[in-house]
Amino acid sequence: MLKFLAIRDFVIVSALELDFMPGFTVLTGETGAGKSILIDALSLALGERGDAAMVRNGCERAEVSAEFDIAAMPQLQVWLREQELEGDEGVCLLRRVLDAGGRSRGFINGRSATLQQLRAAGDQLLDIHGQHAHQSLLRADTQRALLDGFAGAIDTAEQVAVLYRDWQTLRRRRISLTENAEAVAAERELLQFQRSELEGLGFDAAEWAAVQEDHTRLAHAASLLETAAFGIDRLSEADNACLAQLNAVATRLRDGMAHDASLGETLQMLESAQAELQEAVYALRHYQQRMDTDPQRLHEQEQRIQTVLDTARKYRVSPDQLDEALQRIVARLEELGGNADLAELAEQEESARQNYLAAAKKLTAARGKAAAKLSQEITESMQTLAMQGGSFAVSLLPLAEAGAHGMEAVEFQVAANPGVPTRSLARVASGGELSRISLAIQVATSRLASVPTLIFDEVDSGIGGRVAEIVGYLLKKLGKDYQVLCVTHLPQVAAAADRQWLVSKAVEDGITLSNISLLDDQQRVEEIARMLGGVKITETTRKHAAEMLGMAA
């Protein structure tokens, strides 16, 4: 429930603070006094689009803050926690700041919030029925949404839409595969051949590196053996081999140590070098023994390398990318599937269709039941709104082809006079009749509103007299279950309210400012008398106003 509203430098409001109560409250005042400013300010706080024109002339920014009691709204409390926007227990504070350049900032419970978050919170806090709401009632999607809401079938309708999309996705895939079956079969056959070819190649990156290394060695075997033999000869077998030369020097050094022991250090280095050179000779001889010069093996290695290179060239990849090419082929084969997959897809499509039809039939049944009840309620309301003998019908028109919104179209139909067949609401000629029917629809559907606050902005335009009195009664009755605010120009509606606010404007220092004040009993008599009598208010008018208030009470 809306508890408090603060407005600063908004349009022609300098500063305004309002406390709200449960029940039915009306705002009245002279034409042009700014009765709808409160609605516009609330809309801004709840995330509606704002522009620089809303900032009072000469001011830097406009600011609107709205406080709501949400103690009885557990779903909103959960949403606030999920969004990390919770505040004091049982309270939700929305705030919007709009600067003169048109830029705005939003806050929920003192924390920065996006416009989408403000709207999401606002959708759970209040509904605003504008004076031109009947225009949206002419749209098929609005009519369908109203009926589904009245039927409590919003979730079912959403489920139907999801199931329809799932069904259609499978249907399109099945049709695509069927229509391209020949091309798909040819592609599948080619891919299967390519898969067999690459798998038969048995390519392995590690094996490929080893083959290349082995081939290089085999291709240069003769040269490598010659190199090993040359090393052995020069180190140990030639007449002036290195080892023989070192042995000679070592022998002389040992003889010299008899005269100078310091030569021992040099001898140790030579002996170490002798050992290293001898190990090198052993290694070269071992290399000679294990060197493979088999021409047949070299031929096999060359054939393997050529096969891999030819295959890589065929698939337009480097040898290192052959594994990736195989994986792509396997993945594409899985996408194409086989004939068995087409049959399985057809089964999935049929299953999805049956799931959709089951949900759609459930939605049709819920709509049918609710349509009869809503038709009766609105028809009864019409009898009290100067449309005696008129009737209202919510028609379910079967569709030639089921769709995302079900198996039928929803159409509001009306007959304004007895004996006249119902016609589409969109074809009603009289604006006054449309306005009254719109109000009846709004009142009937608002009874099921999940929000605690309902606001009506001059939805009673185009009516008067006894009908206006009945409208006031309907809104007062609605106020027993909801917090109802109504901007009105009708004294009959104002008299039915539990409390009344007067919207007035005055010129101060050449600047026009708007103000809202709560009226006491005597002030209400004066205001309703003004609404009844115009410029000149007589005692008779005042008595009439007092009588209206008394009867409404």
Ranges of the chain whose pLDDT falls below 50: 340, 429
Regarding beta strands 499-508 and 511-518, do their DSSP bridges make them parallel or antiparallel, or are they unpaired? Answer: antiparallel
Which residues, other chains included, contact 541 with Cβ-Cβ below 8 Å and sequence gap of 6+? 529, 532, 533
Query: Mind listing the pLDDT tens digit for each residue in 358-415?
Result: 999 999 999 999 999 999 999 988 887 777 888 999 999 999 999 999 999 999 998 8
pTM of the complete model: 0.60
> What distances in angstroms separate CA 90 from CA 116, 135, 220, 534, one per listed residue?
22, 36, 89, 44
CA distance 421 to 427: 12
Regarding beta strands 91-99 and 104-108, do their DSSP bridges make them parallel or antiparallel, or are they unpaired? Answer: antiparallel
Residue 434 falls inside a structural domain: no
Whose tokens are 């074809």? That residue is 427
Residue 215 falls inside a structural domain: yes
Backbone φ and ψ for 225, nearest 5 degrees, come out as: -65, -40
R_g (Cα) of the chain, nearest Å: 46
The arrangement of strands across the sheet holding 61-69 comes to: 13-19, 2-10, 61-69, 91-99, 104-108, 111-113
Nearest to 423 by CA among 411, 432, 438: 411
For residue 231, give its domain range: 186-336
The arrangement of strands across the sheet holding 423-424 comes to: 391-403, 406-415, 423-424
Residue 415 falls inside a structural domain: no
Contact 56, 530 (CB under 8 A): no
Secondary element (H or E) of residue 215: helix 205-219
Nearest to 488 by CA among 522, 464, 453: 464
Handedness of CA 159, 162, 165, 167 (dihedral sign): negative
Tokens in use for 283? 């290694």
* Predicted pLDDT at 429: 46
Residue 122 falls inside a structural domain: no
How many residues are listed for the chain in this entry?
553
* Predicted pLDDT at 428: 67
Residue 282 falls inside a structural domain: yes
Chain CA centroid to CA 212, Å: 55
* Predicted pLDDT at 83: 93
Contact 453, 426 (CB under 8 A): no
DSSP 8-state class, residue 236: I
Tokens in use for 69? 């009691």
One-letter amino acid for residue 518 of the chain: L
Whose tokens are 């008067």? That residue is 464
Nearest to 34 by CA among 12, 15, 17: 12
Residue 356 falls inside a structural domain: no
Report the number of distinct structural domains present in the chain. 1
Residue 117 falls inside a structural domain: no
Helices and strands, number each (H, E), in the chain: 19, 15
Tokens in use for 507? 């010129």
Residue 330 falls inside a structural domain: yes
